[in-house]
């Protein structure tokens, strides 16, 4: 039987990517296929210790790369794919980031499901329903998808959140059966981990974005916190130390503040700061910018691609 590996971007191993890889591999197995999730690097802070304790089923990489076909989740950018993935072996893609729709439509047609919504997890849950396996999903996969939707929509405060995300969350709530205060506890536990491990938190959530329309690539780091301003102020020098060493060296750091419903952003690049001021109404004071609403990194990217 053909083996299918469900995998994700090597740079951003967040709860949405992880949830999608594990739960989609489960769906393929429910359909009688042989599938496994492959997660090549350490998980980032959005996958908390509690979530890790749920018993996540994945491997680091395939033992036989030549006999494996791949499904990519939560990414479409070939530069982010794990080294073991060959493009000619990709059979499906599920993503909610824009920029490579035409590229993948030419390669795999309607097997590339790319839609701009709050969470890729929503797309995966919709596949369970379409294929008649909604009542067969494991509690672990339901909890993972539930957590991913909460995280990626910033608890439904992000402007990119769609009614489909809300509907998926409502349906998964009945299966996941998590406590009522779980969401706030989840964000607080992330915050505790991030403050204990700031360097790891920063380095584990970095994306390099190609912007041919601007003739540049930029690096965007991100942490999502209940109260993010303090983190940016306290660790401004560490953020700079980490991001300035990367190529490309045009960068900014995005810190959505869930409790206040806005973002705090930081960059040492005058070019980046001007773009943020002119296009996103960011107001800078003492080097730290503030938005008037919550903006996810993927929303910044979509807007930047259109400049």
pLDDT value, residue 2: 85
Other beta carbons within 10 angstroms of residue 221's beta carbon come to: 23
The pLDDT of residue 1 is 76
Region 197-305: CATH code: 3.10.310.20
Residue 12 is predicted with a pLDDT of 78
CA dihedral 100, 105, 107, 113 (to 10 degrees): 80
Q: What is the pLDDT of residue 298?
A: 87
* pLDDT tens for each residue of 208-217: 898 999 999 9
What is the per-residue pLDDT across 124-180, written as a single tens digit (0 to 9) for each? 999 999 999 999 999 999 999 999 999 999 999 988 899 999 999 999 999 999 999
The overall average pLDDT reported for the chain is: 94
CATH number of 3-184: 3.90.1640.10
Q: What is the pLDDT of residues 190-236, one digit of tens each?
A: 999 999 999 999 998 898 898 999 999 999 999 999 889 999 999 99
Cα gap 84→63, rounded to integer Å: 10
Q: What's the pLDDT at 133?
A: 99
* Domain locations along the chain: 3-184, 197-305
pTM for this entry: 0.88
Cβ proximity of 256 and 294 under 8 Å: yes
Contacts of 198 (CB under 8 A, 6+ apart): 231, 235, 238
């Amino acid at each position: 039987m053909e083996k299918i590996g469900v995998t994700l971007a090597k740079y951003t191993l967040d709860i949405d990517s992880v949830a999608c890889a594990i739960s989609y591999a489960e769906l393929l197995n429910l359909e009688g296929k042989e599938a496994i999730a492959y997660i090549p690097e350490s998980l980032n802070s959005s996958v908390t210790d509690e979530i890790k304790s749920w018993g996540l089923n994945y491997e680091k990489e395939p033992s036989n790369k030549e006999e494996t076909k791949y499904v990519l989740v939560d990414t479409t950018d070939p530069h982010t794919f794990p080294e073991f993935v060959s493009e000619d072996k990709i059979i499906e893609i599920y993503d909610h980031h824009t920029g490579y729709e035409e590229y993948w439509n030419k390669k795999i047609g309607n097997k590339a499901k790319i839609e701009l919504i709050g969470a890729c997890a929503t797309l995966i849950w919709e596949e369970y329903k379409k294929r008649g396996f909604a009542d067969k999903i494991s509690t672990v996969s339901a909890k993972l998808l539930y957590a991913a939707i909460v995280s990626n929509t910033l608890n439904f405060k992000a402007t990119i959140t769609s009614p489909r995300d809300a509907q998926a969350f409502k349906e998964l709530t009945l299966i996941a059966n998590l406590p009522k205060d779980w969401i706030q506890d989840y964000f607080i536990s992330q915050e505790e981990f991030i403050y204990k491990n700031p360097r790891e938190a920063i380095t584990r959530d970095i994306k390099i974005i190609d912007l041919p329309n601007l003739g540049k690539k930029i690096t965007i780091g991100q942490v999502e916190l209940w109260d993010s301003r303090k983190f940016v102020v306290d660790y401004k020098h560490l953020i700079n130390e980490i991001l300035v060493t990367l190529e490309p060296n045009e960068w900014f750091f995005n810190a959505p503040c869930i409790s206040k419903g806005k973002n705090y952003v930081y960059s040492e690049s005058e070019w980046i700061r001007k773009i943020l001021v002119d296009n996103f109404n960011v107001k800078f004071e003492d080097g730290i910018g503030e938005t008037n609403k919550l903006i996810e990194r993927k929303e910044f990217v979509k807007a930047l691609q259109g400049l």
